[in-house]
Structure 1
């Protein structure tokens, strides 16, 4: 039996918003549901520890493989992965399950999606939890142009704008790619190691770091071999076009967001930062109180980027405590 089968509830499928979304459910179908939205390069499986804990606590929890990922549909157009589609999938999933409002929890890219939910679909959101990913106000200019100017062409989000090459590099050896990403804060994929050293080097130049990495891991390896297989097999099967295309919509999303609200008010929000996250540092969340009327913030000490997998007990404790206070059963 694979780790996916042994650590996750049975997969369910929903035809929504023109795609099929695979999702996993636990807990009684009562109360305000909690929808867990994963990031890059991840899966609903990233939330395995939270799904069990929330279900055991009597909370209705739902975790989708989002479009382009895992067992869900993988449309072939770049624009199929803009925020209109990504948030629309979540609304469609609520409709499919007969849910009016849910609490949306997002990590990494999933965090960008869930912070957009109250701006784009305010009637469907009961609360928001951001894990590592803060709410960020709309950029003053095209974010890709800003990143290219600040970090150079090799910074991974800028590099992801190129067709085909990112998919080829990431997909050449998915087990190595997943070992490279899924590490605790130690070694070359954490902290300063994410920066290419030398004159004019771009920060977060994953292409060069991955190509130059010998593939060996020590105590910083986050996943068991069985858990690693779930991720490696999923990306070997599904490829990286969809996941990378989420990034290829930064400019489109920015262009289309001009008329959206700039604040979130009247909605309970929780922000959980990770002390050692080199990509989404706790400092990025500091301006959030200026934009969110009802915000509680906590930091998970000693955790890098993959917080719900690195420090699951702490993440579960913080989320369940907040849920019990703000959404008592």
Structure 2
């Protein structure tokens, strides 16, 4: 990963916790900024390839800001584990926008990032100029969440960087038949950090531990009232063809409630689709040009 392609930022929140962000492209370009929010245990590295494309002339020369939520990636781990919540992370996002002087943006939210956007619509709707939801919606399927619970809390992981791509393929390969060898390598570099030559998942384990209480009988509240707050906003939803978290039925209901909603299927991908691959990449670039 070429660090010359992005700039690194570190800033402190009101509770003194330090967050990390990357920016791509020219903030003076005149286009509305694009802010990328990763999934539950993921980080800004997930968006590197997409951000490089969207910041390039071929992708529309957008200014891209990609955040590490508290406890993930290069952001500081929180001593108070109870603050790993969507509500807190929504407040963090509002603070990040204020820090960077962003009054309105188009947001790309993957999974947890999309849940944050549902809450943002109620707290600070003026910030939202458009929404890209990556394999997330107002209804979360418990099957998909239990799968996330299990692999994030697994006792084992890759024993070496050489083994990491094969390990990820063994866990996720059935859901992502489209991925090639270099895609698994890039995923490993995004998910893991290096500790003494060993790849270690780059998030606070307390985040995954929150899911251990889930069972197949757990009732998950829906977010339809929050979704309805997106009315009138440009919006696109990308669903992985093999997603277990976002159902086709939920996407159809989203389209019924939001008639201008664009929907795209990421062929050969599960939860959550890699947005820089063919299909999602072109759909997002076209959406941003509207």
Number of the residue aligned with 2:246: 280
Number of the residue aligned with 1:155: 146
CA–CA distance in 2 between the matches of 1:89 and 1:72?
12
TM-score normalised over the length of structure 1: 0.68
1:69 to 2:72 alignment = yes
The number of residue pairs the alignment matches comes to 273
Number of the residue aligned with 2:234: 268
Number of the residue aligned with 1:213: none
Task: Go from structure 1 to structure 2 and tell me whether the alpha carbon gap of 1:219 and 1:123 turns closer, same or farther (over 3 Å shift).
Answer: closer
Give deviations 1:172-192, integer Å, cap 9, x for gaps: 8596787545679644x669x
1:244 to 2:224 alignment = no
CA–CA distance in 1 between the matches of 2:279 and 2:4?
19
Task: Go from structure 1 to structure 2 and tell me whether the alpha carbon gap of 1:248 and 1:288 turns closer, same or farther (over 3 Å shift).
Answer: farther
Shift of 1:7: 8.0
Give deviations 1:71-96, integer Å, cap 9, x for gaps: 00111333211122111111111100
Give deviations 1:263-289, integer Å, cap 9, x for gaps: 421211111112122443444322113
Partner residue of 1:223 out of 184, 207, 213:
184
CA–CA distance in 1 between the matches of 2:172 and 2:190?
22
CA–CA distance in 2 between the matches of 1:230 and 1:307?
14
Number of the residue aligned with 1:24: 22
CA–CA distance in 2 between the matches of 1:180 and 1:301?
22
CA–CA distance in 1 between the matches of 2:86 and 2:251?
21
CA–CA distance in 2 between the matches of 1:221 and 1:277?
22
TM-score normalised over the length of structure 2: 0.76
SS of the residue 2:200 aligns to:
helix
1:233 to 2:193 alignment = yes
Task: Go from structure 1 to structure 2 and tell me whether the alpha carbon gap of 1:219 and 1:104 turns closer, same or farther (over 3 Å shift).
Answer: closer
Number of the residue aligned with 1:303: 269
Number of the residue aligned with 1:315: 280
8 Å contact 1:184–1:220 — kept in the other structure?
no
8 Å contact 2:77–2:204 — kept in the other structure?
no
Which segments of 5 or more consecutive residues in structure 2 lack a partner in the other structure? none
Task: Go from structure 1 to structure 2 and tell me whether the alpha carbon gap of 1:70 and 1:185 turns closer, same or farther (over 3 Å shift).
Answer: closer
- Tell me which moved more, 80-89 or 116-125: 116-125
CA–CA distance in 2 between the matches of 1:64 and 1:269?
20
Task: Go from structure 1 to structure 2 and tell me whether the alpha carbon gap of 1:231 and 1:249 turns closer, same or farther (over 3 Å shift).
Answer: same
Larger Rg: 1
Task: Go from structure 1 to structure 2 and tell me whether the alpha carbon gap of 1:67 and 1:259 turns closer, same or farther (over 3 Å shift).
Answer: same
CA–CA distance in 2 between the matches of 1:134 and 1:77?
28
Number of the residue aligned with 1:35: 35
Aligned-residue RMSD, C-alpha? 3.8
Number of the residue aligned with 2:10: 13
Give deviations 1:275-322, integer Å, cap 9, x for gaps: 12244344432211344354121222232334225x523222101111
8 Å contact 1:167–1:239 — kept in the other structure?
no
Shift of 1:16: 2.5
